[in-house]
Structure formats: structure tokens, C-alpha cells
Structure 1
Amino acid sequence: MTWEITIMFLVLAGTVVLFIFEIFPVDKIAFLIIITLALSGLVEPDEAISGFSNTATIAVLALMILAIAMEENGVIEWLTSGVDRIKSFPLYIMAPILMFVTAGMSAFISTTAVVIVFVKIVNRLSEKYKVSSSKLLMPISFAGILGGSCTLMGTSTNLIVNAVSSNLGAEKLGFFDFTLFGTIFLVISIIYLTVTLRWLPWSKNKELVEDYNIHDYITRIFISADSKLVGKNIEETFLYNNPEISLLRLTRNNRIHNTPGKYITLRANDEILLMCDLKNLARINESEDLGINEEKYLTQAIKAKKGVNESEEKNIDIDSQIFVELLILPGASFIGKTLGNLRNTIMQNVILVAVKKRKTLVNLKERLVRSSKDSLAIKAGDRLLVETTRNNLNTLASIENIELLQEHDKVSHISRRKKYFSLIVLLSVIGLAGSGTLSIMISALTGIGLLLITQNLDLASVYKKVDWQIFFLLAGMIPLGIAMHNTGADMWISKELLYFLEGKPNYVIIGTLFLTTMLLSGVISNNATAIIMTPIAFAVAQGMQMDFKPFILSVLFAANFSFFTPVGYQTNTLIYSIGNYSFRHFLFIGGILSLLLWITATFLLTAML
């Protein structure tokens, strides 16, 4: 083993550790990889940045933009508009229908975009018709992944595997080259998932007040005339710089001040919205002579205010405030900010109460964060609890890549012309790419051009909604595959595998490659796994003088089929916490599915040799 290969393995090991423990965001890890490879001399400078111009990276970006256009122009919602009709169907009929529809759309539109739409649909069914969301979200996520594995444009992993293998000398995969295999895997999975519905949890459907223990933390206090707080600035009181107590809002004479500054002087009859537990509240009330009877305060405040009419009375009506839970989607502007940052910058008349951190492979429990002192950054999959008025719901719903997790029907004013034209463009892109007339990259870019020329796509919206983490992840990981080839690390690994597999039947060779790829994809992203494993698969096929295609397809499918953890695929991460799932649901239900597909794929792909 040469020193270059040793350094390459150290870089690989460091990359895997960073991905598993989520020490940095994936885009930051990608940049660190580029810098490390360039400084260590494992790649040339132009190779280090080649991922940004790679056809697969550009094709993935173009397909993400197309998916944004389909969502903004109402195409995805239009295609799923009839799904609500199955609300009266039994669960064992409803689930397969939703899985087939999700898979069919995911074969041609971004899996993440499609699954997010179905999360909204399931949430609506759960709210209105008491359908168990936990019985449906995992099957829908799995079906979206399986559907995306049916065509070359279905998922970024497929494009990456195709690009890396063709650069190494393998024949390019066609648009529908592996659709038959993907369909077989999909049918087996839908049957299996329908049978295992009984072992998925029932949705608890807890009220937000109960789920976040709001009554134990959110309290309105009234400053009486004889309170010790009267005449003091906020920074001079217990309200300032105490990690156990947060001042969320101050109401004075019907005027609301969200996150009031430290220099504001407190007055008699002020109402303060505090976040603290009952123990601290009892201590504060005893020492500061505060009133905590909300009904009493409301009456006194109305009497104290001369000339208050009914509309003004409604403005201070405590019941007009509601709690809303928001799901952070990939690409949201909130990502990377801390709870304290968001409290200072969130929109007017919206109070951020708490954040539920999503579960990870390292931390298998949700963490409820309330203190502004906590430095944990917001990530995709986290949920925010905010207090606002019903009038603000439409404004909240309009924030890009934020989903309201409550019954809320967004009014759509999208014209039919936009929907029809956008769908025609999508079908044209599929037709051109599927027939081989144009590559996926060129056909997708052509579709984007048509949408831009006809004013059916706004680039300003694209800049905000594109999941740039995926783009930078691909751009950073592609040089890693180049470095493996440059250093000979892929050949070294393949020689070791050839020695281990020498004399073994073909199904053992394919099965070993498939299983190794699938296990690796369970702890790091499917795209990263594909980039690492594709050169190895190519080298093994080359060393055994066998057809490259079964080996390439082994990596392609296996990188997508890591159903046994919630972190192997982005959609699993999103539904992990909102579906009330525990890690064991993925480990057992998803694990058995992965084993079934491993066995099936091993024999199907071996038959190609």
C-alpha cells in the first residue's frame, strides 16, 4: 500500500465520521473534502473543482429547478388532487394506492419534492378524517425512494452512478435500462409494507399544548401597580440574561412588542408573555408581586382603557393567539440559525416558543430546545413551535420551504394555463431524455429555458428554494471518486475483494458488493456512498473480466435501499420525527425490507452475467 493510498483511506475515514456524527453540515464537509484533496496533492486543482461542472451535478441542479417549477405552478398538487377521495377507504387499500402514486411521480420528479407534498396530504387526512399519519408516512417515503430508483432521472444517485461509471469507461445507462428491475423491487416492497402496516405506530395526535408542555412553560403575567418591576428597565430585572426565563412579548395599551429590548421601562398594567417552568414562576410571583390570573387581567385591562370598543377588545383577547408547528424543509432560510437568532429575526407578530430537534443516528431522541442560549443550529427536519394569530397563517404558509403541520388549506390562484404548460414541458423533458434524443442534462435545461421564456418560472424563487446542500455535496464528493482512481485506492480495494471472492459463485460476488454498498449508505448519504462505491464496483468487474452493468446497477440500487436507518435518505429524515417513529421501526421494518431487496437483487443481477 502506497502513502497516497494511506492518505486516501484517512480522508475517506474522516469523511465517513463527519457524515455519521454530523459534526458539520454536508455542504461544509464537501468544501473540506475539496480543500483536503487539493492540499494533499491527491487531485490536480482543476480536478478538485471539477464537481461543479460535472454533467451529473448540473443535471441534478436542473432537475431540482424543474421540480420547483412543478410545485410552484401547481402541477404536483394537481396530479395528487384526487388522492383525498380515498379518505373513506380501509387503511390496507389506502396505503398501497398512496405508495403507487408516490412511486409513479417520483420516477420523474424529485423524490423529496413529491414526498413533501404527500406529507401535506397525509397531514390533512389525519387532521380532517382521523387517518393515522404514522401508518402512512414511512410507506410513502419508502415508495418515493423505490419509485426514484426506476428511471435514470428519478434520483440524483442514479445520475451520479451513471456519470462516474461512464467516466471510468463503462457504457452509459439508458433512461429506462433498469426500470423493469425497479418495478419488481417496487411491487415486492408495496406488498411487504402493506402487510407490515400493523406494526407501525398509531399517531398519537397530541395537541401542541400537550406535546410541547406549553402550560408548564408559557405564562402570561400582569404587572400590578405595586409590583417591584414598575419603573425598572428590563435589563435590571430577572427577565434579562437568565437562561431559565425568556421574555417573549410585552403588551402595553393594546400594542404588542415582540422580543422587547433591554432598555424598555416596565409600567403598571403591562402584560408579559414569559417562558419558564412552574417552579421558577412560583418563585418569581412570590418575590416580585406579579399577577398571573389571565382572566382577571383581561377584565382590568379593558376597564383601564377608556373608550375600548369591541374590535379593540378582540385585539387583546388571549384566545386570538394560536400555536402552530412548522416543519423545516431542505432549503429553508431558517437552516443554520440558532433559536436565539430566530427569535430576534422572525416575522412580526410571530413568537418562536421552542424547537424540537430532529432525531439523528447518534441522538435517537428528540431534543426540545427552549433557551435562546442554546447554540444548536436549525436543520432540515426540525420542528418549530410558534405563537401567532390566525390572520398570520397565510403569511407563515408563504415562507419558502416551511410547512405548517396543522390543518391549513393554502388558497391557490395558479392559472390552468400555467399548470398545463408546465406539465407539457415536464412530459417533453421525459420524452426527449427517455428516447435518447437529448441527454437528461440538456433536456432538463431546455425545459427550464422554455419555462423562463414563457414567464412560468422565477429565478429569484429558484435561488431560495433549491437545496444547495445537495449541489455542493455532489460537487465536493465527485473529486473524492477521482482521488480514489488517481491514487489506485479503488484498484487496491478491488484486489482485496478479488482475493476474498476468488472461486466464489457469481451471486456471492454481486451479493457482497450490494450488501457492502447498502450498509455504507445506511450511515452516510446515498450520493456519497455511490461516489465511493462506483469506482470499486468498476474495478472489481474489470478485474474479473465481467460485464460492468450488473456491478454498476448493484451500486445504483443498493445506495438507495438503506431503509434500515432514518438517515440514509433525506425523505426518511423528514418523516422520522413527525411520524412518531423510533429507530427500531426503521431497523426492523426497513431492515427486513432491505434484506428482501438484497436477496431479490442478487439473483436478478446475477442472471445478467
Structure 2
Amino acid sequence: MTWEIILMFVVLLTTILLFVFEVFPIDKIAFFIIISLILLGLVTPEEGISGFSNSATIAVLALMILAIAMEENGVIHWLTSGMGKVKSLPLAVMAPIFMFVSACISAFISTTAVVIVFIKIVNQLSEKFNVPQSKLLLPISFAGILGGSCTLMGTSTNLIVNSVSSNLGAERLGFFEFTWLGLTFLGISMVYLTICLKWLPREKQKNLNENYHIEEYFTHVKINAESALVGKKIKDGFLYNNPDVSLLKLIRKNRVHNAPGKYITLKAGDELVLVCDLENLSRINQSENLDICDKDKVDVYYQTAVTSTDEDQDQVHAETEEFELNNRVFVELLMLPGAILLGKTLGELRYFMLQDATPIAIKKRKTLTHFKERMIRNSTDKLLLKAGDRLLVEVSKEKMLAFESMENVVMLQEFDEVEQPSKFKKYFSLAVLVAVVGMAASGLFSIMVSALTGVGVLLLTKNLDLEKVYKKVNWQIFFLLAGMIPLGVAMHNTGADMWISEQLLGLLSGQSKYVIIGVLFFITMFMSGGISNNATAIIMTPIAMAVAQGMDLDYTPFILTVLFASNFSFFTPVGYQTNTLIYSVGNYKFKHFFIIGGILSLILWLTATFLLTNML
């Protein structure tokens, strides 16, 4: 083993550990990979940045933009609009319908975008018709992953495997070349998941108050005559610019003022509704001379939206905005990778977010280092908001729609009122998508050229807004691909892929082809459960090809082994992005993925091993 191979393994092991323990965001890890490979001399500077110009990276970016257009112009919603009509069907019939539709759309549109739409649909069905969302979201996510595995443009993983393998000398895969395999896996999985519905949790749908215990966040206090706050403007007291306390309402003479301005002068007898934890409440009560009111009154005041002109309006500064006239509501936000709010604590969010929106609590998703779902209400908590977490925000209805402009943030509320696009935009966008698929499938153009052409047509006809594209594109995936591709180049440059393949061949010497394909599939599938499926594909594709070369066998079955195995990480909630999203929303436990998803992975492993080996 040479020093170059040892250095390569050090970088590779470090990369895997960073991914598994989520030490840094994936895009930051990708940059570290590029820098490390260049400085260690494992790749040239040109090879180090080659991922940014790689055809697969550009194709993935173009397909993400197309997915955004399909969502913005109502295509995905239109394709799933009939889902509400199945609400009266038995669950054993409803679930396969949802799975089939999810898989069909995911074969041509980003699986993540499709599952996000289904999360909203299922959330509404659960709220209105008591349809158990925990019985549907996991099958929908799994079916979306399987559907994306049916075509070359279904997932970024497929494009990456095709790009890496072709760069190493293999023939490019056809658009529908492996569709029959994907459909076989999908059919088996739909039957299995339908049988497993009885073991999925059937929790009663909780409203936001029950889910977050909203009433525990609010404190109702009264200002005593001896309090230092008397005669002070809000901006001059502890209520202003305090990350640990948020003032939601000012109650004066039985009149409720929502989001009072900072120039309002406080009086003795004023009652305040605060967002505050017990520790800070105790401190404030002692230092500010406040009385804690009957907690039952908080709900009464909070649910009342009475606003009127106050006799103190002459004291209000000219810059003070008028009091909010509309009811205020709670909004639950789901954080996607690349969201602008990621990396901030609850206290920091209260400074960062739009005016008149108060972050109340964070519900952390479970990770390998945090197995239990945590509720964070203390703004001094050092835990950061991450992808898959949910954020509860209190905001006026008028300003609720401003969340639509936030990058990679999804409103999970049923009152998500998005302006409906015109029928022309919807049908034209769908026609463009069909044309892109047709050009790529026929071989007229590559997927990259076809997708870029589709984006160009949408831009030319003003059916795509670049401002929204900049905000909604998952740039983390783009930079992850750009950073990981040089890692595959470095493995080939140093001979690390050949060294690993030689060890595998030595270990599997004399074994049947079934064992060799089975071991390769299992190793790849196991890796994808802990790190990104794209990262797994980039690492394992050169190794699989080296094994095929060492055995003097056809590359294709080995390439498809990596392609499918990288996607089939059903046994953990962190292996695939959609599983991460539904983990928290569906109130699943780790065991649901480990047992139900694990058995599915084993079934597909055995099936794929048999089918792929017979292709040799």
C-alpha cells in the first residue's frame, strides 16, 4: 500500500465520519474535501474543481430547477390533486394508490419535491378527515425513492453513477435501461408495505397546541405600581431585544393590543403576555416587580383579537406601526436542507426572522447522536436548527405568506394559501417536462442538454422566475456533488479503488457470482444508511468497476448494483432526504425504519442479487 493510498483512506474515513455525525453541513464538508485533496496532492487543482463543471452536476442543477418550476406552476399539485378523493377508501387500498402516484411522479421529478407536496396533502387529510398520516408518509417516502430509481433522471444518484462510470470507461446507461428492475422492486415493496401498515403507528392527529403544548410557553404577568417598568417605553426595558423573552400582547383596560410597538409607554396595571421559560420568569419576577396572573386567563386573552385606539396614542412615536387588526396564528415550518434559517438557535431566530413573527419552539428531528426528539423552548439553548427540524412560529395572518419567500422552508399548515398559477402555466410547464423526458429518452440529447433546454424554454416564455430559483434550489446538493466527484477522481488516481477491489477479490476468491454481487450490494446499501446516497455512489462506483474488471465481467450489473443499493437505505431515517423529512412529521420512531425498512432492504437485497447476477 502506497502513501498516496493511505492518505486517500484518511481523507475517505474523515469524510465518512463527518457525514455520519453531522459535524458540519454537507456543503461545508464538500469544500473541505476539495481543499484537502488539492493540498495533499491527490488531485490537480483542475481536477479538484472539476465537479463544478461535471455534466452530472449541471444536469442535477437543471433538473432541480425544472422541479421548482413544476411546483411553482402547480404541476405537482395538479398531478396529486385527486388524492383527497380517496379519503373514504380503506387504508389497505388508499396506501397503495398514494405509493403508486408518488413513485410515478418521482420517476421524472425530484423525489424530495414530490414528497413535500404529499406531506402537505396527508397533513390536510389527517386534520380534516382523521386519516392517520403516520400510516401513509413512510410508504409514500419509500415509494418515491423506488420510483426515482426507475429512470436515469429519477434521482441525482442515478446521474452520478452514470457519469462516474462513463468517465472510467463504461458505456452510458440508457434512460429506461433499468426501468424493468426498478418496477420489479417497486411492485414487491408496495405489497410488503401494504402488509406492514398494521405495524406502523396510528397516533391520533394532534393539533399544534397538543403537539407543542403551546400553553406552556406563555406567561401572563401584571405590572405593579412599584415596578421599574412603569413610565418606560417598551424599547427601554427588558422586553426589547431580549432573546429570552418575547412580548406578544399588551392588555390595558381589557383591550388587547397585538405586537405592541416599541414606543408604547407602560403603565401600572398593564398586563403582558410573554413567551418565556420558567427560569427567566423567576428572574424577571424578582427583578422587575411583576405579578404572575391566573394562567387560565392567558388562553382567553390569546384567543381574543380585540384591538382599539388607546388613549395613550399621543405618546406613540410617529414611526410606530398601527396595531395588527387580524387574528394571529401559529405556523409550523419544516426545514429543508439549504434553508436560510439553518444553523441558528431559537434566540438568534427571534432577531433574524421577519418583523412581527415570533419563533416559539423548535422540535428537533432525531439523529444518530440524538435518538430522542427534543422540544427546545429556551432561547439560550445552544442546539442549532437543522434540516428536518420543525419550527413553531406565532405570526399575523397577513404576514404568514411571507414565509413562502424563505429558502427551503415549507409551511405544514392547512391554511397555506399560495396563489394558484394559471392553467396555461400549468399545462405548458407539464408539456415542457414531457418534452425534456422525450428528448432524453430518445437519445436525441443527453439529460443535461435536455434539462437545460427545458429550463431555457421556461425562462424565455416567462414561466420561471430566477429569483425564486435562487431561493429554492437546494444548493447543498449542488456543492455536495461538486465536492464529492473529485473524491472519486482521487481514488482512481491513487489506485485506492483497485487496492480495495483486490482485497475484495482475494476475500471472495472462489465464491460464486451471487456472493460477489450480494456482498457489493450489501456494503453499498449499508454505507448509504449512514452517509449521503450521492456520496456512497461516488465512493463505490469506482470500486465496483474495479471488481468487474478484475473478474473480467460486464460492467453493467456492477454499476446497477451501486445505483440501486445507494438508493435503498430504508433502514435508517437519515440515509435519504425524504426519510429525514417524514421522520419528525410522521412521529415515527427509529424502530419503524430499522425493522420495517430493514426487512424491506433485506428483501430487495436478495431480489436484486438474484436479478443482477443473472445479467452476467
Whole-Å Cα distance in 2 between the matches of residues 303 and 101 of structure 1?
Answer: 51
2:225 maps to 225
1:134-158 alpha-carbon deviations (Å, 9 max, x no partner): 0000000000000000000000000
Amino acid at match of 2:246: L
- SS of the residue 1:545 aligns to: coil
1:463 maps to 470
- SS of the residue 1:9 aligns to: helix
Say whether the 8 Å CA contact 1:127–1:406 is kept in structure 2.
no
Q: Taking structure 1 as reference, are residues 481 and 221 closer, same or farther at Cα in structure 2, changes over 3 Å only? A: same
2:448 maps to 441
1:205 aligns with 2:205: yes
- 1:469 deviates by 0.1
Amino acid at match of 1:290: D
| Structural mapping, 1:87-166, within 5 Å | 87-166=87-166
1:427-465 alpha-carbon deviations (Å, 9 max, x no partner): 000001001111000000000111011111111111110
Aligned length: 599
1:498 aligns with 2:505: yes
- 1:332 deviates by 2.6
Whole-Å Cα distance in 1 between the matches of residues 464 and 324 of structure 2?
Answer: 42
Whole-Å Cα distance in 1 between the matches of residues 36 and 497 of structure 2?
Answer: 19
Amino acid at match of 2:187: V
Whole-Å Cα distance in 2 between the matches of residues 231 and 211 of structure 1?
Answer: 39
1:584 maps to 591
1:541 maps to 548
TM-score, length basis structure 2: 0.91
1:290 maps to 291
1:185 maps to 185
Say whether the 8 Å CA contact 1:250–1:260 is kept in structure 2.
no
1:380 maps to 387
- SS of the residue 2:202 aligns to: coil
- SS of the residue 1:332 aligns to: coil
- SS of the residue 2:81 aligns to: coil
1:311 maps to none
Whole-Å Cα distance in 1 between the matches of residues 234 and 373 of structure 2?
Answer: 33
Say whether the 8 Å CA contact 1:160–1:530 is kept in structure 2.
yes
- Structure 1 stretch 121-130 or stretch 288-297: which is displaced more? 288-297
- Structure 1 stretch 145-154 or stretch 398-407: which is displaced more? 398-407
Whole-Å Cα distance in 1 between the matches of residues 342 and 409 of structure 2?
Answer: 10
Amino acid at match of 2:293: I
Give the alignment partner of residue 605 of structure 2, picking from 592, 598, 601: 598
Say whether the 8 Å CA contact 2:223–2:271 is kept in structure 1.
yes
Whole-Å Cα distance in 2 between the matches of residues 329 and 147 of structure 1?
Answer: 21
Say whether the 8 Å CA contact 1:258–1:348 is kept in structure 2.
no
Amino acid at match of 1:445: L
Give the alignment partner of residue 356 of structure 1, picking from 357, 363, 369: 363
- SS of the residue 1:355 aligns to: strand
- SS of the residue 2:378 aligns to: coil
Say whether the 8 Å CA contact 1:157–1:560 is kept in structure 2.
yes
- Structure 1 stretch 221-230 or stretch 111-120: which is displaced more? 221-230
Residue identity (%):
65
1:16-50 alpha-carbon deviations (Å, 9 max, x no partner): 00001100000000000000000000000000000
Q: Taking structure 1 as reference, are residues 474 and 303 closer, same or farther at Cα in structure 2, changes over 3 Å only? A: closer
Q: Taking structure 1 as reference, are residues 198 and 246 closer, same or farther at Cα in structure 2, changes over 3 Å only? A: same
2:85 maps to 85
- 1:423 deviates by 0.6
Say whether the 8 Å CA contact 1:340–1:372 is kept in structure 2.
yes
Q: Taking structure 1 as reference, are residues 83 and 247 closer, same or farther at Cα in structure 2, changes over 3 Å only? A: closer
Amino acid at match of 1:88: S
Whole-Å Cα distance in 2 between the matches of residues 569 and 448 of structure 1?
Answer: 26
2:66 maps to 66
Whole-Å Cα distance in 2 between the matches of residues 302 and 335 of structure 1?
Answer: 35
- 1:579 deviates by 0.5
Q: Taking structure 1 as reference, are residues 489 and 431 closer, same or farther at Cα in structure 2, changes over 3 Å only? A: same
Whole-Å Cα distance in 1 between the matches of residues 497 and 578 of structure 2?
Answer: 30
Amino acid at match of 1:366: E
1:476 aligns with 2:483: yes
Q: Taking structure 1 as reference, are residues 418 and 283 closer, same or farther at Cα in structure 2, changes over 3 Å only? A: closer
- SS of the residue 1:504 aligns to: coil
- SS of the residue 1:82 aligns to: helix
Q: Taking structure 1 as reference, are residues 523 and 307 closer, same or farther at Cα in structure 2, changes over 3 Å only? A: closer
Amino acid at match of 1:507: Y
1:413 aligns with 2:420: yes
- SS of the residue 1:587 aligns to: helix
| Structural mapping, 1:366-377, within 5 Å | 366-377=373-384
- 1:321 deviates by 3.1
Whole-Å Cα distance in 1 between the matches of residues 137 and 224 of structure 2?
Answer: 50
- SS of the residue 1:365 aligns to: coil
- SS of the residue 2:395 aligns to: strand
Amino acid at match of 1:401: N
Whole-Å Cα distance in 2 between the matches of residues 480 and 374 of structure 1?
Answer: 36
- Structure 1 stretch 180-189 or stretch 389-398: which is displaced more? 389-398
2:397 maps to 390
Say whether the 8 Å CA contact 1:258–1:351 is kept in structure 2.
no
Structure 1 segments unaligned to the other structure (5+ residues): 309-313
- 1:176 deviates by 0.4
Q: Taking structure 1 as reference, are residues 10 and 465 closer, same or farther at Cα in structure 2, changes over 3 Å only? A: same
Amino acid at match of 1:344: Y
- 1:231 deviates by 4.1
- 1:224 deviates by 3.9
Say whether the 8 Å CA contact 1:33–1:480 is kept in structure 2.
yes
Whole-Å Cα distance in 2 between the matches of residues 76 and 238 of structure 1?
Answer: 47
- SS of the residue 2:136 aligns to: helix
Amino acid at match of 1:449: G
Say whether the 8 Å CA contact 1:49–1:475 is kept in structure 2.
yes
Q: Taking structure 1 as reference, are residues 12 and 282 closer, same or farther at Cα in structure 2, changes over 3 Å only? A: closer
2:496 maps to 489
Q: Taking structure 1 as reference, are residues 176 and 228 closer, same or farther at Cα in structure 2, changes over 3 Å only? A: same
Whole-Å Cα distance in 2 between the matches of residues 583 and 151 of structure 1?
Answer: 30
- 1:346 deviates by 1.6
Give the alignment partner of residue 459 of structure 2, picking from 452, 459, 474: 452
1:513 maps to 520
Give the alignment partner of residue 332 of structure 1, picking from 317, 320, 339: 339
1:530 aligns with 2:529: no
User: Please, what is the CA RMSD of the aligned residues?
Assistant: 2.8
2:437 maps to 430
1:318-348 alpha-carbon deviations (Å, 9 max, x no partner): x933322111223432223332222013222
Say whether the 8 Å CA contact 2:56–2:160 is kept in structure 1.
yes
- 1:83 deviates by 1.2
1:195 maps to 195
Whole-Å Cα distance in 2 between the matches of residues 59 and 304 of structure 1?
Answer: 57
Amino acid at match of 2:542: P
Q: Taking structure 1 as reference, are residues 346 and 238 closer, same or farther at Cα in structure 2, changes over 3 Å only? A: closer
- 1:289 deviates by 3.8
Give the alignment partner of residue 557 of structure 1, picking from 554, 564, 567: 564
